[in-house]
Chains A and B, each alone.
Chain A
Amino acid sequence: MSGAAVDLPLAAPTVVPTRVPGAGRLALFLLLAPALLWLGLLIVLPHVEILILSFSERVAPRIYAPGFANYLEFFTEPLYWRTFARTALMSILVTAITLVLAFPIALYIARVAQGRVKAMLLLLCLLPFWVSELVRTLGWMIILRETGLLSYLLQAAGLAAGPVEFLYNDGAVVLGLVYGGLLFMIVPLANALESLDPAVVEAGYDLGGSRWTVLRRIVIPHAMPGIVAGSIIVFMLTVGNFATPVLLGGKNGLWFTEQIYAQFITRFNWPQGAAFGMLLLVLSSAIVWAGLRLTGQSLGSTLRQA
Chain B
Amino acid sequence: MTSPSDLDLVAVTKVFGSHRAVDAVSFGVAPGEFFSILGPSGCGKTTLMRMIAGFEEPSSGDIRIRGQSMLGVPANRRPVNMVFQSLALFPMMNVGENVAYGLLCRGVNRADAQARVNRMLERVGLKGFAERRVTALSGGQRQRVAIARCLVLEPTLVLLDEPLGALDLKLREHMKIELKQLQSAFNTTFAYITHDQSEALVMSDRIAVMNAGRFEQVGSPRELYHNPATPFVASFVGETNRFAGKALACAGGEAAIRLPTGAVVQGRGLAREGEAQCFVRPEAVALASDPASLGALPNRFAGRVSAVLFDGAASSLLIETPNLDRPIRAVLPQAGPLAGIAVGQPIHCGFAAEATRVFPA
Contacts and interface: CB of A to CB of B under 8 A. Distances in A.
A203 B98 CA distance: 11
B88 A200 contact: yes
B153 A208 contact: yes
B86 A197 contact: yes
A205 B77 CA distance: 9
Contact of A209 (B55, B80, B88, B105): B105
A199 interface: yes
Given A200-B90, A218-B90, A207 B150 contact: yes
A201 to B, nearest CB: 8
Nearest to A201: B88
B91 interface: yes
A114 to B, nearest CB: 15
B101 interface: yes
A217 B84 contact: no
Interface in B89-123: 89-93, 101-102, 105-106
Main secondary structure of the interface of A (DSSP, over half): helix
B74 A207 contact: no
Nearest to A222: B92
Given A197-B86, A213-B105, A217-B101, A206 B81 contact: yes
Contacts of A204: 90, 101
A213 B101 CA distance: 10
Contacts of B84: 199, 202-203
A202 B77 CA distance: 13
B82 A203 contact: yes
A197 B88 contact: yes
Contacts, number: 64
Contact of A199 (B76, B81, B88): B88
A206 B161 CA distance: 13
B92 A218 contact: yes
A106 B155 CA distance: 35
Contacts of B77: 208
A221 interface: yes
Interface string A204-227: 111111100100011001100000
A202 B101 contact: no
Contacts of B54: 206
A209 B76 contact: yes
Interface string B37-59: 00000000000000001110000
A218 B75 CA distance: 17
A197 B92 CA distance: 12
A203 B90 contact: yes
A291 to B, nearest CB: 19
B92 A208 contact: no
B85 interface: yes
Contact of A202 (B55, B91, B149): B55
Bin the interface of chain B by size: 20 to 34
A202 B88 contact: yes
A203 B80 CA distance: 11
B88 A203 contact: yes
A205 B93 CA distance: 16
Contacts of B149: 207
A207 B85 contact: no
Interface in B52-74: 53-55, 74
A210 B101 CA distance: 12
B86 A205 contact: no
B91 A200 contact: yes
A296 to B, nearest CB: 11
A207 B81 contact: yes
A221 B82 contact: no
A199 B84 CA distance: 7
A197 to B, nearest CB: 6
A206 B105 contact: no
A210 B76 CA distance: 7
A217 B92 CA distance: 8
Nearest to A213: B105
A207 B91 contact: no
Nearest to B53: A206
A122 to B, nearest CB: 26
B86 A208 contact: no
A210 B90 contact: no
B73 to A, nearest CB: 12
Contacts of B75: 202, 205-206
A202 B54 CA distance: 10
Nearest to A224: B92
Nearest to A210: B76
With most chain A CB atoms within 10 A of its CB, the pick from B55, B90, B106 is: B90
Given A202-B84, A203-B84, A210 B92 contact: no
A209 B101 contact: yes
With most chain A CB atoms within 10 A of its CB, the pick from B85, B86, B88 is: B88
Contacts of A203: 82, 84, 88-90
A199 B86 contact: yes
A210 B105 contact: yes
Nearest to B101: A207
Contacts of A206: 53-55, 75-76, 80-82
A278 to B, nearest CB: 38
A206 B55 CA distance: 9
Interface in A157-212: 197, 199-200, 202-210
Interface string B128-165: 00000000000000000000011001000000000000
Contacts of A208: 76-77, 102, 105-106, 153
A205 B102 CA distance: 9
Interface of A: 197, 199-200, 202-210, 213, 217-218, 221-222
Given A204-B90, A207-B149, 18 more contacts: A199-B86, A200-B91, A202-B84, A205-B74, A205-B75, A205-B76, A206-B75, A207-B81, A207-B102, A207-B150, A208-B76, A208-B77, A209-B101, A209-B102, A210-B105, A217-B90, A217-B92, A221-B92
12 contacts: A199-B85, A199-B86, A200-B89, A203-B90, A206-B53, A207-B81, A207-B102, A208-B102, A209-B76, A210-B105, A218-B90, A222-B92
The 5 tightest CB contacts between A and B, nearest first, are: A207-B102, A199-B88, A208-B105, A203-B88, A221-B92
